[in-house]
Structure 1
Amino acid sequence: MLFFIIFGWQRIIEFSGPIGYTDHSGLPLPTLSAAIAFGAWTLTLVLLLAVYALATVFIAHHYCTTTSSTGFEAEINFYRNISIIGGLLALFAMGSGRYTLDEILRSRAATHASK
């Protein structure tokens, strides 16, 4: 938990850095994260991001085979991604909640279907 508070605070203060990195790499992660925060297409996006994080664990953060000094950094990133996957799967299990765009769209569809 402390890990996410420390590094999350750095991301909030220096917000342009992570956004610039993901824009440069061509990844739509800020848009997907914002959609999840507002509760739009939550279950689908959460599963997609969990699969993406799992793929990066196996592709980019294989610290067991690294013998250089970057092995420690790879281990930190490995466990960070595993933690993120756990959080995403918890969100998937709990659902997006009552006050989200998903729920607003669901209630409108139910209202129109009953008329």
Structure 2
Amino acid sequence: YRRAVYHQNARASVVDLMTDFDQPDCAFSAPKRAETTTPLQALTMLNHKFTLDMSAALAERLQAEAADDVTAQIHRAYQLCYSREPSAEEQQSCRQFIDEYGLASLCRVLLNTSEMIYVQ
């Protein structure tokens, strides 16, 4: 199952993020939604302002909770995102990624993994 988003909005408003994920027209009843998977959805998850803002917020939280200890930041990120500890290989990959691209970019990646998006 894919994780769901529940959002209450006025009938006249349109949430641009949700339109890429087949949000039905609020003016009409929609007892069943269409199911699609498109490349635009993946790009939206990576590049939408909401995702970027949430990635930055997660990075700020990790820095506040773990200071400059990169290992602690990685462990906390995995606890928050996946409710588990990272493997040694994941920890090494994350450390290299942080060194090259920064903590906020790692958070962006973690929020876009199948493990985060889909419920087991």
Q: Do they superpose with TM above 0.5?
A: no
Provide TM-score, normalisation by structure 2: 0.31
Q: Which of the two has greater helix per residue? A: 1
